[in-house]
Chain A
């Protein structure tokens, strides 16, 4: 107790000294350090030391510092400034610990106020807890007589307002919107963007003054700010601002010199014209005029863009804009103008104005080799926009030429756009698939190419969809496989995997299958990742089976004479020309060599740790052993070998399995599988949702595993029984399944995964061979689907375009994703419409009254209004009905207040309103409102 008292005594004096010094000296020598000569004289102010910042003696050590002395505003402010500097320029510093100190400093005098405002506006998010402490201070500052203070508060509100803050301070902002100081009016107007977004209800209070500021003639800045606000607001929901079109138009006509205002108004017009065709008709001439006479490049650019994007229906305007755009494109010394010119041109789109883009073709092609990456990219986009069936080959040739000359990044951009344009809508532009396939090969061989996956996808996809291209495809694949240099490049693994698959699947189109086997077995394949290697092994298997079968057929034919040829293997007939050559290839020696080669190459793979490779290798080696050993003794001579092969039906079986066509898989294939009775797919998954609301279940893998299992079972056991069993399987064990589902729901397919079965060919999980009878229900379905939806050829081509197989489900898979609008935005536009329509409804005389009233009323009332939005909207629609009855009367009245608009249009008004009566259905709700102003 006593100690505590003593402590209090010891601490007291310096504190008093501090206080007294502060009051007298404004806190400059606040160290809490007594003069060394007169240690403690609480009631007397010590004389100032010679060097107030460096006391001659160190301060006596304090033994029990109860708490750190409160620093004065100056010290605090300096510290805060340091922290602001550090946190803003070395961002990983978290400055939030000082938040409270910053707020403490807000009420102090201007030199300290500014740093603390700077601190909070740089570091506070609009969800900061301490924002609750601000409203009173901000209110004081907003209504302070000197404008820098009010500016600071507005500045903070403009960028960091929370909805509460914005709501609480709306009345102050409303007052400032009418301030006598233009600079405050300007800032208050600009701040409205942030305030409206944070608190849509403030629109009801401030909107009228915002619109009035569009009229302000005394300060150009206020007008500019107001237009800027509307430009910002109209970005999210332009339709709400249609009723203000007359105002915008007047500003546009009046603002002859102010380029900033012109640009913003043009931006607003560009957004409004597509929704309101009558506005487009009105502004097209003024915009053209402006384009002709303006000296400012920025305004010119904005005009060109407005015409290209929103006034493209008016040919003369487009012609003029293209003409002016050429001037921009011709500026050799200014890369900015060339870039922006090209960018604007891409807005026009070559579909609607191919001639306009073609006119600039020279410039565009030249720009492909520009030093500026922006310009190159834009010109590439334009070039790709020009592509058509007729010029695809030509353009691709030019582009690939440019690609080989340019840097890796741009080279890949070129390849990427070629690939995407050609693959668009199932290769609709590609006529000559032989050419395209060899182009794919060329792209893949480019050293810089990073589009391996896309090339892989397309090689396989074309193989499955376009039957006529397979011959060329195999020869391209062969070249890719044979080149040992490609094997070391990890970027090309995917391409090689596709090439290997293609060469295995379509080996019957190959000129020399032995070459393929050699390529597939070359030693450098060790560099490949296991998944690709597995594809290689499987392809070898297919080629091997094909060779054995061909050899067998050939020897059969030889023994039974030439007449048999036509009845022989259909596939061989397809490539009849090669028959002669091939006959020489499949000899006993070559077969023996082949078997030896496979055996030597695959021997080491039996030690492989990757199960996929191991399993497939075993299959191949198993086949080799069967061929060699089943007939044991007489395999060593040619006749014996032949006999053995004939006896051994396995080769025929496997070959038959491989010759089953693999079609493309529709994106919606899974949906078509009939759910067996008693299989509950949805019920348990809803339970799952509650347990694991956000768990991402990637189950496509488990799906393919399951289907593989079914297939393998079908292959090993008797196919017939399996087929019969399958549909019954679930119904027999429904209860078990349901039980299992309940326990291990996690491992089951979620319902929403159903339609997302990938369309790609999965290389590693390639199903093992299927006997024709054992195709399960899914496969049958798919095969039928593929047959059903063949697309007819395009007739006019000289060389007929080959058939590209499409599945009717493919288009469906592109789900139209609805853009979810931010609820706050919709709220905002709702309120804006509300205010605008409500405002229009009121007669002119009552406007003033209501604005006065609203200035007095507090936000509480506003909120009450906000609760009845829906009611209000009902009123609005009622009001519109009434209004249309009063139509004539109003036209007259508005005409007088908007002279600039209506002066030359009176004769048309009847005609226009007649037009409206004819087509009221497709007009917007607001359309009747502008009707009056515009005409």
Chain B
């Protein structure tokens, strides 16, 4: 299964973290710090996998992708294929790209909830759920529509709430 998803920038500030096995806040912080320590020391053009038994527990590997100012990191165990995980990061990033039109770090900072919604449609409780970014987008839009409609019912008219 996939154990964790971490998105952080090149300064080591986390932008999105999701641990599919519960970790205490301190432990999460520690893991993120250690992962960043490993990542910052890696050169460009080397392989994207890291044995992470020391960081996240036995039988864990990390796969990461460095895009612009961000690292996308997935931690997973031997039930997942490394190259498939690399593809999955690609799917995630593509979906975000469709979602935010040319995604950048700021989009991720300001759309914390939406990031989680997107991620939840791709990875579900540590299992890969959907691998096509079109399908994911469909579901995400559906959710957004539903929330909009229900908020329209219960809230004040838009001209007020927008101000």
Binding site for B on A (CB under 8 A): 25-29, 48, 51-53, 74, 81, 84-85, 87-89, 91-95, 109-111, 114-115, 118, 122, 124-126, 146, 148, 151, 154-155, 157-160, 183, 186-187, 190-191, 193-194, 221, 224-225, 228-229, 231-232, 235, 259-260, 263-264, 267, 297-298, 301-302, 335-336, 338-340, 371-375
Contact = CB atoms under 8 A, between A and B. Distances in A.
B102 interface: no
A223 B49 CA distance: 28
Contacts of A25: 156
A85 B17 CA distance: 10
A117 to B, nearest CB: 10
A298 B47 contact: no
Main secondary structure of the interface of B (DSSP, over half): mixed
Contacts of A84: 112
Contacts of B24: 125
Contacts of A160: 22
Contact of B21 (A118, A159, A336): A159
B129 A190 contact: yes
Nearest to B117: A114
A148 B154 contact: no
Contacts of A122: 18
B11 interface: no
Contacts of A146: 146
Given A28-B161, A259-B84, A93 B46 contact: no
Given A28-B155, A110-B150, A159 B125 contact: yes
A115 to B, nearest CB: 6
A385 B147 CA distance: 59
A183 to B, nearest CB: 7
Interface in B14-36: 14-18, 20-22, 24-26, 28-29, 32
- Measured as residues with beta carbon below 8 angstroms from the partner, the interface class of chain B is 35 or more
Max chain A C-beta neighbours (<10 A), residue from B21, B32, B128: B128
A118 B112 CA distance: 11
Contacts of A87: 25
Nearest to B43: A371
Interface string B1-17: 10000000000011111
B129 A186 contact: yes
Interface string B135-163: 00001001100110011011110001101
Contacts of A158: 124-127
Given A183-B139, A186-B129, A221-B129, A336 B112 contact: no
Contacts of B112: 81, 84-85
Contact of B129 (A125, A187, A301, A302): A187
Nearest to B125: A158
Main secondary structure of the interface of A (DSSP, over half): helix
Given A81-B112, A221-B129, A232-B1, A155 B124 contact: yes
Contact of B146 (A110, A183, A187, A259): A110
A336 B48 contact: yes
14 contacts: A26-B155, A88-B14, A89-B13, A109-B150, A114-B113, A155-B120, A159-B125, A191-B125, A221-B130, A229-B127, A301-B81, A302-B81, A339-B47, A339-B49
Contacts of B139: 183
A224 B46 contact: no
Interface in B33-69: 42-43, 45-51
Given A92-B25, A155-B125, A194-B125, A263 B84 contact: yes
**Most interface-central of B18, B86, B156 (chain A CB within 10 A):** B156
A335 B113 contact: no
B82 interface: yes
A410 to B, nearest CB: 13
Nearest to A258: B131
Contact of A28 (B81, B129, B160): B160
Given A94-B25, A194-B125, A148 B160 contact: no
B154 to A, nearest CB: 5
Nearest to A24: B156
A336 B150 contact: no
B87 interface: yes
Contacts of A81: 112-113
B154 A26 contact: yes
Given A122-B18, A375-B46, 18 more contacts: A26-B155, A27-B155, A28-B155, A28-B161, A88-B18, A109-B153, A118-B113, A148-B143, A191-B124, A194-B126, A221-B130, A232-B127, A298-B82, A298-B84, A336-B83, A339-B49, A340-B82, A372-B46
Contact of A298 (B50, B83, B120, B155): B83
B116 interface: yes
B83 A91 contact: no
Contact of B128 (A26, A260, A371): A260
Nearest to A27: B155
A118 to B, nearest CB: 6
Contacts of B43: 371-372
A756 B124 CA distance: 47
Given A155-B120, A187-B124, A297 B83 contact: yes
Nearest to B82: A340
Contacts of A190: 124-125, 127, 129
Given A109-B151, A148-B142, A194-B125, A89 B17 contact: yes
Contacts of B46: 335, 371-375
* Max count, chain B CB within 10 A of own CB: residue among A48, A89, A259, A264: A89
